[in-house]
């Protein structure tokens, strides 16, 4: 009961801070007579969302699907690569510099290539979301797999299981907290990647809404899309955080 009360208080504080921020924004815009084309008041943004909520929901759904596709691919490939990197020093020395080099390249610079290779559908957006998110999964998974306590490693070796069993039953469960931490970062990065892909070439998605509204100087629509994007990001992060609590019940997570 105390835990539920604490969680409720945390949510209330978070909601209160958002409401106060929006009220200050509204008051500042009205008192300073800021033009809507420069900074619309939150009331205008909420009115825009209320009038066109079906339209925004459709575009948000497209962005959500591409984000989840890129994130799922990053999670599977990232954990798989981390296991190979930890399991083989030779593989690590051969591949890790390539991974770091690819991560250092600005994804906006190579996004047009994915459009050329994969077309203008959802595939290039998923690919860009994957590229931006996968490095966070790899780094945290490698850290977790290498941070297994020595006594646990010794116990696993004494049991004399196969290398795969050792990874799946010893290293992977111990590394799960670090892996899930990386996934919390990766889900936000995947959302960024999906938006980058929509900026480059798309006829759907919140990135497309922002880009098209910018072209017509419709600032209210830009803010409305950003508002939906923020809600989407909070929901996705909260979903992974919930999965983390369920998967690692022995940890004390605030």
Q: What is the pLDDT at residue 101? A: 84
Lowest-confidence pick of 97-106, 212-221, 230-239, 245-254 = 245-254
Q: What is the pLDDT at residue 6? A: 67
16-68 pLDDT per residue, tens: 888 898 899 889 998 998 888 888 999 999 999 999 999 999 999 999 999 99
pLDDT over 90, % of the chain? 39
Q: Which is more confident, 8 or 243?
A: 243
- How much is the mean pLDDT over the chain? 85
Q: What average pLDDT does range 87-95 have in this prediction? A: 84
Highest average pLDDT, of 72-76, 82-86, 93-97, comes from 72-76
What's the predicted TM-score (pTM) here?
A: 0.86
Q: What average pLDDT does range 131-142 have in this prediction? A: 92
Cβ-based neighbour number of residue 166 at 10 Å: 17
Tokens encoding 3? 């835990």
176-189 pLDDT per residue, tens: 888 999 999 999 99
Structure confidence at residue 162 as a pLDDT band (50, 70, 90): low
SS3 52: coil
- What are the phi and psi torsion angles at 32 (to 5°)? -90, 0
- Residues whose CB is less than 8 angstroms from the CB of residue 146 and which lie 6 or more positions away in sequence, other chains included: 86
The single-letter DSSP state of residue 250 is: T
Structure confidence at residue 157 as a pLDDT band (50, 70, 90): low
211-230 pLDDT per residue, tens: 999 888 889 999 999 999 99
- Residues whose CB is less than 8 angstroms from the CB of residue 202 and which lie 6 or more positions away in sequence, other chains included: 120, 125, 208
Helices (H), the chain: 2-31, 42-51, 53-87, 89-104, 107-118, 123-146, 150-158, 163-166, 172-200, 206-215, 219-247
């Amino acid at each position: 009961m105390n835990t539920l009360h604490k969680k409720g208080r945390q949510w209330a504080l978070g909601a209160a801070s958002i409401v106060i921020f929006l009220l200050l924004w509204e008051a500042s815009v009205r008192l300073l007579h800021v033009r809507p084309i420069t900074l619309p008041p939150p009331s205008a943004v909420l009115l825009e969302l209320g009038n066109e909520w079906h339209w925004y929901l459709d575009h948000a759904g497209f962005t959500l699907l591409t984000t989840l596709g890129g994130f799922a691919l990053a999670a599977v490939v990232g954990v798989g690569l981390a296991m190979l990197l930890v399991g083989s020093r030779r593989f690590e020395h051969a591949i890790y510099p390539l991974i770091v080099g690819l991560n250092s390249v600005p994804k906006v610079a190579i996004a047009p290539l994915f459009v050329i290779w994969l077309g203008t559908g959802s595939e290039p957006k998923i690919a860009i979301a994957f590229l931006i998110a996968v490095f966070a999964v790899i780094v945290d998974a490698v850290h977790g797999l290498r941070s297994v306590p020595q006594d646990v490693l010794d116990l696993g070796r004494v049991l004399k299981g196969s290398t795969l069993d050792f990874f799946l039953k010893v290293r992977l469960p111990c590394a799960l907290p670090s892996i899930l931490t990386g996934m919390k970062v990766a889900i936000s990065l995947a959302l960024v990647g999906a938006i980058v892909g929509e900026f480059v070439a798309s006829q759907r998605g919140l990135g497309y809404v922002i880009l098209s509204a910018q072209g017509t100087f419709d600032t209210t629509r830009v803010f409305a899309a950003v508002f939906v994007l923020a809600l989407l990001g909070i929901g996705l992060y909260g979903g992974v955080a919930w999965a983390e609590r369920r998967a690692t019940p022995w940890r004390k997570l605030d």
